[in-house]
Structure 1
C-alpha cells in the first residue's frame, strides 16, 4: 500500500493511505496519526483522521510545509511496521428497526429515493439479495462493526462491517439528500453504517433508531461527563435489535439518566481477524456478554 500526499492550501497536508476503505488502511492511518500526536511536532495544530486517510493542519510560520511532508513520510515507514493490534472497547448499541419516526420521515421523501414504492430497509434487503427484511436485520446486527471515523457532524460515527467482502452490505445513498433526519437514526450509505448524532439533513438510508445518546454538548449524560462525544475511532459496535416496549423502557432510563450501555474492553488483532474473521468475531461477542 502506497500513500498519496498532497497539500491542501497553505496550512494542510492530506494523506490518502488507500483509495478503498479496508481495516488494513485504517490501521496504517491510525498508526500514523498516533505517531504524529506522540511526536509532538512543533507547528502541527490539528490532526483529523478519516476512514482510509487523514489530514494534518499546521502553521507554516512555525514549520515549513516540505519539512512536515518529509516528517510524515518518515513516520509512515514506522507505522507500516507497527503490529496491527488495538486495545479498544466493544459496545452494545440497541436499535429499534423499522421505527415509526424514521418511517414517517422516509415516507415524506420518497420522490428522492431509488424505489418510491419500498421503504429504505425493504430496498436495502432487496438489492442485497435477502429474502425478507427480517433476514436483512439479522445480517446487519449479526456481526460487529468497526468505528473507522467520527465526524462530518459532531459525534457521528462511521461504521465498517466486520465480515468478508462478499458478505458486506452495500446500499447507495438517496438520489437527492433529505432535508430532515431524526436524531439518533441508524443510517446506511455505500458500505458504511452510521448514527446521526443530531437532527438534520442527510442522504443515508434509514433503518431504525437508537435510544442511546451519543453526543451531549452539556455533558449531562452520565457516561458523557468526561467528553461530549461518545465514539472514538477503533471502537467496535454490536447492534442489538429491540422492540417498541424495550425502546420505551430505554428512553425512560435515558430521561432518568440511569441508562448505561454495555461496554467491555477488548484486544483486537488485525492478523488474527484476517486469519479467521468469524472466529475473531465470536471471541468479541464472548467478551461483550461475559459477566
Structure 2
C-alpha cells in the first residue's frame, strides 16, 4: 500500500502507512514520527503515533498546511531505509486467566456476544482452532507481545503478538460493547491484545486480569511514582500465568509498595525477527529472570 496523507480539518494531518497492522508498518510510522519530533518543525503542537498510522496537530497560523504536508512526505524515503533496531524493554505481566471478576462481567453481557452459551475464552479458543481454552491460554502466553501504541484511554497498551501471521490470534470484538469492564482486564479485539488501564466500557473479549497496575494518576504505586503510565510504544510484554494464590500475593505486594515489575533492557532487530520470529523471541526472553 502507498502511504496515504489526508487533512483532518484545519489543524491535523493524518498519515496512514498501511491498512493492516504489521511490525514493518509500525516501524515506518515510528521512524516518521521520530523524524517529525527531531526536526522541531515550527507550528507542530502534537504528534500522535498509532499502530500503522499517525496524526500530526499543527497551528495553521505558524505553518501552512501544504508546507507541513510536504515536510512529512520528505520523511517517508528515510523511513523506508532506516535501520530498524531499537533499544527497548521486556516487561513481564502476571495474568490470572479465567478469573472470577471478568467471568462475572462477561456473563452479565452474554446477550451482546457472538456465542452467548460459552465464555470469551471458549469462543476465542474455538475460532482460532484450539481444542480447549487451556491450549488457547498456552498460545496466548507462549510468545511475547509488541506494544504498538498507548492510548484511547490513558495508559492502555495495544499489543501485537510477535509470531508469524498464520499463528496470529484473531478474535472479533463483542457485537455490542459492554458498559463495564474490570480494571486491568487482559482483553483482545481483532489482532490486538490490550490491558484495560481503568474500569469502563469496552468491547474486547476478556481473557483474564492482571494484579499489576499500569496507570496511576495519583502516582502512589511504587514503580509509577516517576511517571503515571507504565508502557510506551516499542515495549515488549511477556504474559506469565498465575493462579488465585499468585494473584492475591501480587495484589498484597502492590498495596504494600513492595511489587516491582520484572523487566529487562533488550535490543530488538526487526530484520532478525522477520527472518526468524521464534528464534528472536527465544533470545529476547532469555533476558528475563
Alignment of 1:64-103 (within 5 A): 64-103=64-103
Structure-2 residue corresponding to 1:287: 287
Output the CA distance in 2 between the equivalents of 1:196 and 1:70.
37
Structure-2 residue corresponding to 1:215: 215
Structure-1 residue corresponding to 2:62: 62
State the 1:277 CA deviation: 0.6
State the 1:160 CA deviation: 0.1
Structure-2 residue corresponding to 1:192: 192
Output the CA distance in 2 between the equivalents of 1:130 and 1:224.
37
| Aligned length, in residue pairs | 289
Which blocks of at least 5 consecutive residues in structure 1 are unaligned? Answer: none
Structure-2 residue corresponding to 1:114: 114
Structure-1 residue corresponding to 2:141: 141
Output the CA distance in 2 between the equivalents of 1:119 and 1:73.
46
Structure-2 residue corresponding to 1:14: 14
Structure-1 residue corresponding to 2:202: 202
Output the CA distance in 2 between the equivalents of 1:263 and 1:185.
20
TM-score normalised over the length of structure 2: 0.99
Output the CA distance in 2 between the equivalents of 1:36 and 1:227.
24
State the 1:71 CA deviation: 0.4
Structure-1 residue corresponding to 2:244: 244
3-state DSSP class of the match of 2:268?
strand
Structure-2 residue corresponding to 1:27: 27
1:264 aligns with 2:227: no
Structure-1 residue corresponding to 2:181: 181
After TM superposition, the runs of 4+ consecutive aligned structure 1 residues lying more than 4 A away are none
Output the CA distance in 2 between the equivalents of 1:116 and 1:75.
48
TM-score normalised over the length of structure 1: 0.98
1:129 aligns with 2:129: yes
**Structure 1, residues 231-256: CA drift from partner, whole Å, max 9, x if none?**
10000000000000000000000100
CA-atom RMSD in angstroms:
0.6
**Structure 1, residues 186-226: CA drift from partner, whole Å, max 9, x if none?**
00000001000000000000000000000000111121112
State the 1:2 CA deviation: 2.3
Output the CA distance in 2 between the equivalents of 1:199 and 1:149.
19
3-state DSSP class of the match of 2:285?
helix
